[in-house]
Chains A and B, each alone.
Chain A
Amino acid sequence: NAGVTQTPKFQVLKTGQSMTLQCAQDMNHNSMYWYRQDPGMGLRLIYYSASEGTTDKGEVPNGYNVSRLNKREFSLRLESAAPSQTSVYFCASSEGGPEQFFGPGTRLTVL
């Protein structure tokens, strides 16, 4: 089991460019989440998907869109990247209970 995988590991964008961060889990979990991590601020929820076919906003959704492609995959899209979106992005999944399992992260820099 690979658990939660994310691609890419690193990305540098210019302001205004778009990109999609990919996440997949092989644990057959129903719920998936996207967080961003900024220095001194812990992790903040961007979007979540309680089950296949549903998505909802978290604490900081502005500037992002998501797609729950199937039960395994949950992608995060930045349509027009801004320097304020420079961060480390983590995907997580959970099933049944409150325990969440995190991927290795994508470090994004927007110039």
Chain B
Amino acid sequence: GENVEQHPSTLSVQEGDSAVIKCTYSDSASNYFPWYKQELGKGPQLIIDIRSNVGEKKDQRIAVTLNKTAKHFSLHITETQPEDSAVYFCAASMGISGGYNKLIFGAGTRLAVHP
């Protein structure tokens, strides 16, 4: 079955620096790759996603890149701010099958942005 590995498990940056989190997936049939941000005591919130027919997607300070050949995708946060501090999860999906969208999650990256 699908397996998603996420690195690093913790990341500490200075405010204003960039942060990069990387994920690899095992199943080449995966075609949807979301990123979730989880703040302390809250549920995961979808922040950006990318589909397999796209190589890069940007939304203000965040961007996601996808390399289908290498089966890895990355989250890039530029000009980090203290409010970016959270746990970030990547996930992979082969889409809807039998009415069910199966998301396989990475283990998470705890990002700390220091003022």
The chain A residues found within 8 Å of chain B, CB to CB, are 4, 30-31, 40-45, 48, 50-51, 54, 56, 90, 94, 97-105
The secondary structure that dominates the B interface is strand
On whether the beta carbons of B102 and A45 are closer than 8 Å, the reply is yes
8 A-B contacts (beta carbon < 8 Å):
A31-B99, A42-B108, A43-B44, A50-B98, A50-B99, A56-B100, A98-B95, A104-B43
With a CB–CB cut-off of 8 A, which chain A residues contact B105?
Answer: 42-44
On whether the beta carbons of A40 and B107 are closer than 8 Å, the reply is yes
The chain B residues found within 8 Å of chain A, CB to CB, are 4, 6, 9, 32, 34, 36, 41-46, 49, 89, 93, 95-96, 98-103, 105-108
On whether the beta carbons of A103 and B43 are closer than 8 Å, the reply is yes
The 8 closest A-B pairs by CB, nearest first: A50-B99, A42-B105, A102-B43, A98-B101, A98-B32, A43-B105, A42-B107, A102-B44
